[in-house]
Amino acid sequence: MDGGINNPGVVAFIDALLDGRLRLGQTVKQDELCELLEMSLSPLRESLTLLEAEGLIQVRKRMGVAIFYPDVRFVGSTFQFREFLEAEGLRRFVPRVTDEWVQSTAEAHLEIIEYVRQVNDQRIFAKPVKALEQAFHGAFIGAFDNEQITANYQRLMQKMYLLRLINLDAVNAVNTIQSMREHLQVLDALKERNVDGAVDALQRHVRGVLHRTLTR
């Protein structure tokens, strides 16, 4: 079960948004989407139901496909849900975390901070940073050992990456390094098996991401 996250049409749609071929808030005809995503109408429409269920589009008779534009409520509920899932996942992760994991994850963070500082180009550091973020946050969610929670979380994170489109300026080296430093604070508390401290640090991090997402 992948929660529909790997549906080819959904992936193509998200990619088109991320690389600017589609814009948040835009309305496009189904025919235009077919061309843009290089797929035929039938498989496209099968994906549109998924995107609509996720709240990412609305299919409107005669009007076409209206791509969502995240309002304050949407951003808020996405972050609230994320914080809630990760915080509880983290609580469950603490008793099973190993010193080795904390150690190697912390080292990976120190290395990537240096890497981001040096290349200083979002197009280059984006990919390794994303991989590290997924390993970091994914570890907490994995502690639920619950495929349905994992599927929901992956859909949430897909939305999180779309929310960055609101304010692309914020996706820069300074903010990325700040994020990695916040991760390190979680790791510091994890090293001591300090549950409440780790959860506090995680909440500060998620709220930091929210703030940086919305602040110009």
Give the binding site for its own copies (CB under 8 A): 1-4, 7, 42, 45-50, 52-53, 55, 73-74, 76-78, 80-81, 84, 88, 144, 146-149, 151-152, 156
Token couple for 25 = 């808030």
Measured from the CB atom, the residue of 49 and 194 that comes closer to DNA is: 49
For residue 46, the minimal CB distance to DNA (Å) is 7
Beta strands in the chain (DSSP E): 27-28, 57-60, 64-67
Choosing among its own copies, DNA, none, which partner's interface includes residue 64 (Cβ < 5 to 8 Å by kind)?
Answer: DNA
Choosing among DNA, its own copies, none, which partner's interface includes residue 65 (Cβ < 5 to 8 Å by kind)?
Answer: DNA
Choosing among DNA, its own copies, none, which partner's interface includes residue 216 (Cβ < 5 to 8 Å by kind)?
Answer: none
Rg (CA), the chain: 18
For residue 181, the minimal CB distance to its own copies (Å) is 29
Q: What angle do CA 114, 117, 123 make, to 5 degrees?
A: 115
For residue 164, the minimal CB distance to its own copies (Å) is 18
If you search the block for the tokens 């498989």, which residue do you land on?
43
Cα pseudo-dihedral 172, 178, 179, 184, rounded to 10:
150
Measured from the CB atom, the residue of 10 and 65 that comes closer to DNA is: 65
Measured from the CB atom, the residue of 3 and 197 that comes closer to DNA is: 3
Q: What letters, b where the CB count within 10 A reaches 16 and e where it falls short, cover 9-39?
A: bbebbbebbeeeebeeeeebeeeebbeebeb
Measured from the CB atom, the residue of 2 and 121 that comes closer to its own copies is: 2
For residue 16, the minimal CB distance to its own copies (Å) is 18
For residue 46, the minimal CB distance to its own copies (Å) is 5
Measured from the CB atom, the residue of 91 and 164 that comes closer to its own copies is: 91
Residues near DNA (CB under 7 A): 29-31, 39-43, 45-46, 59-65
Token couple for 18 = 């991320």
Token couple for 42 = 């039938």
State whether the Cα torsion 37-39-41-46 is positive or negative: negative
